[in-house]
Amino acid sequence: MLKLTLKDVREYQDRMNVVRANGFKAKDFKELGRELRDKFNLTDRQAISILNGKSDEILSILEMEEI
């Protein structure tokens, strides 16, 4: 299993910005969220928080990765 890094978070947020710029479609958001969730063994809520840029939650996720 891969460990989530800050670089990964930024990459997925950049990809989310592309989804938004292309006329946000729920299908694309869900697909990106599932990819993120499965790649790093996250919960749905954690993946959504990352894609939506929830800073406090992202920090909590990264802290858990350090353990």
Percent of the chain having pLDDT more than 70?
99
Calpha distance 67→48 (Å, rounded): 22
Which among 6, 17, 11 has a CA at the least distance from the CA of 61? 6
In this prediction the pTM is 0.90
The pLDDT of residue 1 is 67
Calpha distance 47→31 (Å, rounded): 11
Calpha distance 51→26 (Å, rounded): 13
Q: Which amino acid is at 65?
A: E
pLDDT tens-digit series, residues 1-33: 689 999 999 999 999 999 999 998 999 999 999
What the block records as the tokens of 63 is 């802290």
